[in-house]
Chains A and B, each alone.
Chain A
Amino acid sequence: MNDAQARSLVLDVLSAIAPEADLAALNGAAELRDELDLDSMDFLNFVAALHKRTGQNIPEADYPRLATLDGAIAYLAR
């Protein structure tokens, strides 16, 4: 998966969890939890959806790497 594909996937997943958010204006380096007002269940659902959509195994130890938009894109596009 390249960066553009990863970005589009992450944004699509986020738009289902926080549909009210203006994702075009999202600061890629800021914590998603703050920017999008995600609680811990939202974050778990975010990770679960990424796993489901990519088939990629995401161990819990890697969750911190998914905390920002840029981090999540880099993680999926590796």
Chain B
Amino acid sequence: MSAPEGRAALADRYPRIIKPHDPSAVPANMPDYAAARRTFSWEGARGLLDGLPGGRGLNIAHEAVDRHVPGPRADRDAIRWLGRSGERRAFTYRDLKAATNRFANALSGLGVQAGDSVFVLSGRIPELIIALLGALKAKCVVSPLFSAFGPEPLATRLTIGEGRVLVTTASLYRRKIAPLRGSLPKLEHVIVVPEAGEAPAAGTLDWRRLVDGQSPDFTIPPTDPEDRALLHFTSGTTGRPKGAIHVHEAVVTHTVTGRCALDLHDADVFWCTADPGWVTGTSYGIIAPLTNGVTSVVAEAEFDAATWYGILQNERVSVWYTAPTAIRMMMKLGAEAVRGYDLSALRFMASVGEPLNPEAVVWGQQAFGRPFHDNWWQTETGGIMIANFASMDVKPGSMGKPLPGIEAAIVQRDPGGSFMIVDDPMVEGELALKAGWPSMMRGYLHEEERYRKCFAGPWYLTGDLAMRDSEGYYWFVGRADDVIKTSGHLIGPFEVESALLEHSAVAEAGVIGKPDPMAGEIVKAFVALKPGFAPSEALRRDLLGHARKRLGAVVAPKEIDFAATLPRTRSGKIMRRLLKARELGLPEGDLSTLESDLR
């Protein structure tokens, strides 16, 4: 099979960015990719970690915090928190050890057991990090929730994950959790970080009263590397969100990818801008910088270009991990806006969340004098799998090459279930990874069947379509399913459709991702109304308000269109692919299974 001409040309549309040889520059942790692939072993990578003292196993929080404290890093800032209104709080590794121990003791005092689920729901505040690491010390399973979720996505996740403890803030509790409390019988303890102007709520525990008086000493119990540590929810095309289970051994991937994909060096100041409600904000906003012993900047404020450039300058950030939507917003503002800031400390810039368009990679060169290094991974993989590494030339638009220790392939499946590996360059297929790395999910909670479906023999099937060029660089093409990627977040269309169907006027709903220059895709809904209802602007607003109240801003549709009926297959499934083709004015493909029609 040969590559279509347009695809082959894609790889050469933008000139490659050649890394200059600069003897005065900080040498990359992985200077020679080919050599690293030959010599890498996961056993060797495990050697980057200490393990619990006395051979009692492997615990993420020990590797992130406690192991640095007897050593020279004890009084280095682990976390530098920058509040929205200009406040600053710094926690050295020593401080962080005491704070996380206090939280672990608080959980024990409540009778919380190893294996219990602790959910966290907040913006970027220090207590979130302390709670997550403290709960890992107590061997709880931690599940981060996104603070922009509405009540429905929150209730679904808390229910599936059987949350026993929730850590949140006073305002989030009042707005999002209090109304749900009665429907969450398993949720015993809600620990609330107080906020100015918010009264203590009945049925909650005040963080300060519960945690501050606890002992700063705690001994992490023996932890098997296969013990569950993190539960990250992700969305599929159909059905409920899936809880991907990760174990303590994942810390091996977090640490080694921090070193080779983010090129973290001992004295670095690292800033990951991701929200802790998603997997990047946990794996790289919290764990990887700490296990590598660097200083991690945590900024509470939402994106604002001037604020961000100020942080890069004032904190002397050397490694910066951000996302395409933010980069595209900075591009809009122009490279001139970067001038005047002293960004001389900045050495390495990386991006994740959705494919970074080549223009944005090149813009990095113009604005910052260095390219953004796109990388690829997903909730299920637990850590970076494919990356543009510091020592490698960047091909703008490509996600890079597989991590040493990761075997990737492009595969094609046919509906009969047979499966072949595609070796030809620039031929589209599904991106697959040979299973067996430490941060691979160990299952979807209570969803064995859906987990099993992710594999073909030894291969984990990612659901992403990609191509590989003749040099081994991978190129993202799209999703193999109907899952929507908006501003780096995965949204399951089913979750949105279900919420719309709860509205009394809606007979049918179909939800797609509509391409958008800023967000990658936006959530767009098509609805058919029940008899007796007519399309109107007032009804459109009512539907939008309904969806936003239930789902929150990030999950709710940004556009709603009315349709007479929605196209369905003969088996009754809404054909989202066809809705999308029509939205984009594309050929509609095989319509032989089509039942009804919009036109």
Of A15, A40, A61, the residue contacting B303 (CB under 8 A) is A40
Shortest CB-to-CB span from B442 to chain A, Å, is 32
Q: Which residues of B contact A64 (CB under 8 A)?
A: 304, 306-307
Total A-B contacts with CB atoms under 8 angstroms apart: 58
Shortest CB-to-CB span from A18 to chain B, Å, is 6
The answer to whether A44 has its CB under 8 Å from any CB of chain B is yes
A16 near B148 with CB under 8 A, answer no
The answer to whether B544 has its CB under 8 Å from any CB of chain A is yes
Of A18, A34, A42, A60, the residue contacting B545 (CB under 8 A) is A18
A19 near B487 with CB under 8 A, answer no
A20 near B545 with CB under 8 A, answer yes
CA gap between A19 and B516 in the complex, in Å:
22
The answer to whether B542 has its CB under 8 Å from any CB of chain A is yes
Of A15, A20, A33, A40, the residue contacting B549 (CB under 8 A) is A20
CA gap between A57 and B303 in the complex, in Å:
21
The answer to whether B94 has its CB under 8 Å from any CB of chain A is no
Shortest CB-to-CB span from B197 to chain A, Å, is 10
Q: Which residues of A contact B558 (CB under 8 A)?
A: 41-42, 45
Q: State whether A41 and B541 are in contact (beta carbons under 8 Å apart), knowing that A33-B302, A60-B332, A61-B306 are contacts in the complex.
A: no
Shortest CB-to-CB span from B241 to chain A, Å, is 18
The answer to whether A3 has its CB under 8 Å from any CB of chain B is no
The answer to whether B598 has its CB under 8 Å from any CB of chain A is no
Counting chain A residues whose Cβ lies within 8 A of the other chain, the interface size class is: 20 to 34
Q: Which residues of B contact A37 (CB under 8 A)?
A: 148, 150, 548, 552-553
**B-contacting residues, A22-78, CB 8 Å:** 33-34, 37-42, 44-45, 60-61, 63-64
Q: Which residues of B contact A18 (CB under 8 A)?
A: 545, 548, 553
CA gap between A16 and B558 in the complex, in Å:
11
B304 near A39 with CB under 8 A, answer no
CA gap between A78 and B150 in the complex, in Å:
36
The answer to whether B546 has its CB under 8 Å from any CB of chain A is yes
Closest to B330 in A: A60
Closest to B550 in A: A20
The answer to whether B333 has its CB under 8 Å from any CB of chain A is yes
Q: Which residues of A contact B337 (CB under 8 A)?
A: 60-61
**A-contacting residues, B562-577, CB 8 Å:** none
**A-contacting residues, B241-300, CB 8 Å:** none
CA gap between A40 and B487 in the complex, in Å:
9
CA gap between A41 and B556 in the complex, in Å:
12
Of B302, B332, B519, B541, the residue contacting A16 (CB under 8 A) is B541
The answer to whether B305 has its CB under 8 Å from any CB of chain A is yes
Main secondary structure of the interface of A (DSSP, over half): helix
Q: Which residues of A contact B546 (CB under 8 A)?
A: 20
CA gap between A60 and B338 in the complex, in Å:
13
B519 near A19 with CB under 8 A, answer no
Mask: chain B, 375-407; 1 = CB below 8 Å from A; 0 = not: 000000000000000000000000000000000
Shortest CB-to-CB span from B148 to chain A, Å, is 6
CA gap between A33 and B487 in the complex, in Å:
16
Q: Which residues of A contact B541 (CB under 8 A)?
A: 15-16, 19
B552 near A19 with CB under 8 A, answer no
Mask: chain B, 524-565; 1 = CB below 8 Å from A; 0 = not: 000000000000000001101110110011100010000000
A40 near B306 with CB under 8 A, answer no
Closest to B149 in A: A37
B148 near A60 with CB under 8 A, answer no
CA gap between A18 and B552 in the complex, in Å:
10
The answer to whether B522 has its CB under 8 Å from any CB of chain A is yes
Q: Which of A15, A16, A18, A19 has the most CB of B within 10 A?
A: A19
CA gap between A45 and B150 in the complex, in Å:
20
Q: State whether A41 and B519 are in contact (beta carbons under 8 Å apart), knowing that A19-B545, A61-B333 are contacts in the complex.
A: yes
Q: Which residues of B contact A41 (CB under 8 A)?
A: 486-487, 516, 518-519, 522, 558
The answer to whether B325 has its CB under 8 Å from any CB of chain A is yes
Shortest CB-to-CB span from A63 to chain B, Å, is 7
Q: Which of B148, B307, B329, B553 has the most CB of A within 10 A?
A: B553
CA gap between A63 and B302 in the complex, in Å:
12
A39 near B487 with CB under 8 A, answer yes
Closest to A64 in B: B304
A20 near B548 with CB under 8 A, answer yes
CA gap between A40 and B329 in the complex, in Å:
10
Shortest CB-to-CB span from A32 to chain B, Å, is 11
Q: Which residues of A contact B171 (CB under 8 A)?
A: 34
A40 near B522 with CB under 8 A, answer no
Closest to A38 in B: B553
CA gap between A41 and B554 in the complex, in Å:
9
Of B302, B329, B522, B542, the residue contacting A19 (CB under 8 A) is B542
CA gap between A17 and B548 in the complex, in Å:
10
Closest to B549 in A: A20
CA gap between A33 and B148 in the complex, in Å:
10
Shortest CB-to-CB span from B496 to chain A, Å, is 14
Q: Which residues of B contact A16 (CB under 8 A)?
A: 541
B549 near A63 with CB under 8 A, answer no
Mask: chain B, 303-325; 1 = CB below 8 Å from A; 0 = not: 11111000000000000000001
Mask: chain B, 495-526; 1 = CB below 8 Å from A; 0 = not: 00000000000000000000010110010000
B333 near A44 with CB under 8 A, answer no
CA gap between A18 and B332 in the complex, in Å:
25
Q: Can you add 4 more A-B contacts, CB < 8 Å, to A40-B302, A41-B519?
A: A20-B544, A20-B546, A39-B553, A45-B558
Ordered nearest first, which 8 A-B pairs have the shortest CB separation? Answer: A20-B545, A19-B545, A19-B541, A39-B553, A60-B333, A20-B549, A37-B553, A39-B554
17 A–B contacts, CB within 8 A, in A order:
A16-B541, A19-B541, A19-B542, A20-B546, A20-B549, A37-B150, A37-B553, A38-B553, A39-B554, A40-B325, A40-B329, A41-B519, A44-B329, A60-B305, A60-B332, A64-B304, A64-B307
Show the binding face of B for A, using Cβ within 8 Å.
148, 150, 171, 302-307, 325, 329, 332-333, 337, 486-487, 516, 518-519, 522, 541-542, 544-546, 548-549, 552-554, 558
Show the binding face of A for B, using Cβ within 8 Å.
15-16, 18-21, 33-34, 37-42, 44-45, 60-61, 63-64
